[in-house]
Amino acid sequence: MSSIPATEVLVTAACWQTEPDAETVIHRAIEAAAGIADADVGDAELAIMLTDDAGIRTLNNNWRNIDKPTNVLSFPALQPTGDSGDDDAPRMLGDIAIAYETTRREADEEGKPFDHHLSHLAVHGFLHLIGYDHENDDDAEDMEGLEREILGLLGIPDPYADRND
């Protein structure tokens, strides 16, 4: 059994047409994250929606009561309890939404290639789906360390290197 979850990328905003490799970039990032992250995700599925700032703003407002766009949102699925049977559907990890305009603006402002930033957001969202968070300093340090390791495998520089701590 593969340790890579089935990943469906749904493009819901026309602005993503300017990034024809986005789906490939995302699949590569999820594959790398699944290969390193300590989680059983081989029988699982996830969906990644490539949306625009308006779409993610609506999600952010509806689910987090924050009325503004953001770069990425993750929605972990509730996991079933009890034993699974042979006829059960694949386990759903959850959904990730990534907004084009915010992702593009951040990449440009930080002087990063768009595909590097998109990879980082996909990895970040995936780690949230499998239980990582950054609610406190220790958890943030663990999650960021894992992001650095995964992105390093993809040849992407440390996204936190220039951050002022």
Strands 91-99 and 44-51: parallel
Where in the sequence is the domain holding 55, given as residue range(s)?
6-78+89-153
Q: Is residue 140 part of a domain?
A: yes
Domain count across the chain: 1
Q: Is residue 164 part of a domain?
A: no
Give Cβ neighbours of residue 77 (< 8 Å, ≥ 6 apart): 91, 92, 93, 94, 95, 129
Question: What distance separates the 2 farthest-apart alpha carbons in the chain?
Answer: 51
The domain that contains 70 carries what CATH number? 3.40.390.30
Q: What is the pLDDT of residue 161?
A: 85
pLDDT over 90 (residue 139): no
Measured from the Cβ of residue 148, the count of other Cβ atoms closer than 10 Å reads 18
Strands 91-99 and 72-76: antiparallel
Q: Is residue 84 part of a domain?
A: no
Q: Is residue 70 part of a domain?
A: yes
Q: Of 67 and 79, which is predicted with more confidence? A: 67
Q: Is residue 38 part of a domain?
A: yes
Residues 30-70 pLDDT 10s: 999 998 876 778 778 999 999 999 999 999 999 999 999 99
Q: What are phi and psi of 89, to 5 degrees?
A: -70, 160
Q: What is the pLDDT of residue 163?
A: 65
Supply 72's token pair: 């990425």
Residues 88-125 pLDDT 10s: 666 889 999 999 999 999 999 999 999 999 999 999 99
Cα 36 to Cα 31, 39, 81, 153: the distances in Å are 9, 9, 25, 10
Q: Is residue 98 part of a domain?
A: yes
Q: Is residue 28 part of a domain?
A: yes
* Contact by Cβ (8 Å): 100, 53: yes
pLDDT over 60 (residue 165): no
